[in-house]
């Protein structure tokens, strides 16, 4: 959420950002509702002052035995109360409209965010490693996993429907190994690691900026105003909601959790394998820092490096792309994705994402700190996917396959795989 005064001062800018991000909101309508809200508030205050003045006059009139004036004054007070009730009813309607529109206002975008409509317009920042080449016909991750009994997709669909899957034996160990490697890396770098609620109140999703625009991607619990999270970013940020925190040093949090997404709008896309599934696991980084863009950029570089270091430990080629305006979510100010080479796709596929949100989430969540002068300021928040699995299993299996069908296990994962150096039949 943005400060209303900023919106009043920059209506053209925010309407342009809304167009670039594909968000259907009229800033002009919002400002019209804002003016109505202020006008009704002003009328309410005037009428209350008038009522208070008349109410204080009644005892004086009573002491002076001015019965007719008392009756008249009481009637004026009654009429004011009727008018106040009518205005309060209009204010309730206007305030609800104002709040609904405010929740649609997008965050501003950074000056270095590329302009574009879709992920095809994202801009490569740098590339590390070269796409893997083979001197044999490589298999995709589904064929590899089925041969080695790592994944059972057919039975997953039988039990859970489209995009369901089972992980088996070494497939499960690999799934857990990448998560534990990420947790150990982040813990060593000063992150507080947490297990978090996966079922949250609706306000947690509103306050972190996932609602209202992402409502159709989220699973709701029947007959409850509670939802399954699509990322542990939601509970991690909400952990400090409505609190005043100490950000002399950035607060670094990380969680390993399952995540759930409906994937509405992706029918027919990535239906083979593990790229786009409804249930997956993530290790998420969240950082809360002071309201300073230079600090946010430093933290952004830090959390992106953490994810890059993990990909390098997994011995995978990857690239960093700057996400364009049309591919940027409502809440994000700036975003970099890490895309890892996936041989079966003959392309890079997104496996990690880093975002700066400035004070957008903190305003909604009411997370503040005291600056050097003692004034309360809203914090900045940032997040990054350190690893998401089973998607990361796609490049792991495909890039590390050998001609005989075996899979090389990167050295960094071996301690979490009981020392195993390869997977084979």
| Same-fold call for 4-102 versus 119-423 | no
Neighbours of 260 (CB within 10 A): 19
User: What pLDDT is recorded for position 55?
Assistant: 82
* Helix (DSSP H) and strand (DSSP E) numbers for the chain: 12, 17
Q: Which CATH class is domain 119-423?
A: alpha beta
pLDDT for residue 294:
97
> Tell me, what's the pLDDT at 267?
67
Report the C-alpha gap between 57 and 52 in whole angstroms: 9
- Give the active site residues: 261, 276, 350, 353, 391
pLDDT at residue 66, rounded to an integer:
78
- CA–CA separation, 40 and 153 (whole Å): 59
Provide the pLDDT for residue 4. Answer: 97
Low-confidence ranges of the chain (pLDDT < 70): 267
Which tokens in the block code for residue 29?
């309508």
Q: State both tokens at 415.
A: 């301690």
pLDDT digits (tens, 9 = 90+) for 333-376: 999 999 999 999 999 999 999 999 999 999 999 999 999 999 99
pLDDT at position 73, please?
81
Domains of the chain, residue spans = 4-102, 119-423
Span 130-161, pLDDT tens digits: 999 999 999 999 999 999 999 999 999 999 99
Please give the CATH topology (third level) of the domain spanning 4-102: Helix Hairpins (1.10.287)
User: CB within 8 A of 415, min separation 6: which ones?
Assistant: none
């Amino acid at each position: 959420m943005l400060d209303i005064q900023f919106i009043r001062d920059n209506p053209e800018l925010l309407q342009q950002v809304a167009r670039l991000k594909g968000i259907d909101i009229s800033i002009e309508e919002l400002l019209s509702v804002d003016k109505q809200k202020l006008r009704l508030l002003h009328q309410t205050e005037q009428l209350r002052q008038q009522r208070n003045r008349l109410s204080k006059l009644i005892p004086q009139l009573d002491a002076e035995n001015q019965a007719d004036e008392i009756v008249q004054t009481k009637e004026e007070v009654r009429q004011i109360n009727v008018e106040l009730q009518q205005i309060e009813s209009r204010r309730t309607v206007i305030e609800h409209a104002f709040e609904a529109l405010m929740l649609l206002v997008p965050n501003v975008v950074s000056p270095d965010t590329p302009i574009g409509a879709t992920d095809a317009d994202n801009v490569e920042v740098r590339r590390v490693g070269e796409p893997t080449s083979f001197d044999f016909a490589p298999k995709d991750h589904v064929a590899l996993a089925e041969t080695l009994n790592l994944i059972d997709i057919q039975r997953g669909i039988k039990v859970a429907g489209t995009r369901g899957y089972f992980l088996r034996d070494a497939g499960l160990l690999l799934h857990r190994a990448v998560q534990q490697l990420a947790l150990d890396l982040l813990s060593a770098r000063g992150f507080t690691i947490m297990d978090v609620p996966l079922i949250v109140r609706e306000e947690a999703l509103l306050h972190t900026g996932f609602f209202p625009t992402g409502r159709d991607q989220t699973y709701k619990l029947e007959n409850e105003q509670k939802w399954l999270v699509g990322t542990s970013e939601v509970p991690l940020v909400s952990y400090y909601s409505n609190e005043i925190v100490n950000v002399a040093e950035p607060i670094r949090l990380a969680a390993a959790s399952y995540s759930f997404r409906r994937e509405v709008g992706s029918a027919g896309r990535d239906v083979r394998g593990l790229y786009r599934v409804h249930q997956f696991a993530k290790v998420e980084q969240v950082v809360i820092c002071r309201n300073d863009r230079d600090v946010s950029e430093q933290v952004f570089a830090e959390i992106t490096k953490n994810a890059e270091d993990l990909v390098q430990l997994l011995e995978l080629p990857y690239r960093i792309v700057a996400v364009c305006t049309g591919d940027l979510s409502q809440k994000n100010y700036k975003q970099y994705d890490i895309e890892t080479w996936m041989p079966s796709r003959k392309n890079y596929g997104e496996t990690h994402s880093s975002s700066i949100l400035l004070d957008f989430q903190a305003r909604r969540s009411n997370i503040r700190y005291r600056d050097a002068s003692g004034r309360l300021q809203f914090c900045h928040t940032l997040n990054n996917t350190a690893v998401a699995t089973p998607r990361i299993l796609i490049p792991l299996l495909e890039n590390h396959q050998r001609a005989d069908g075996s899979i090389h296990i990167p050295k960094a994962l071996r301690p979490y795989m009981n020392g195993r150096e390869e997977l084979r039949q």
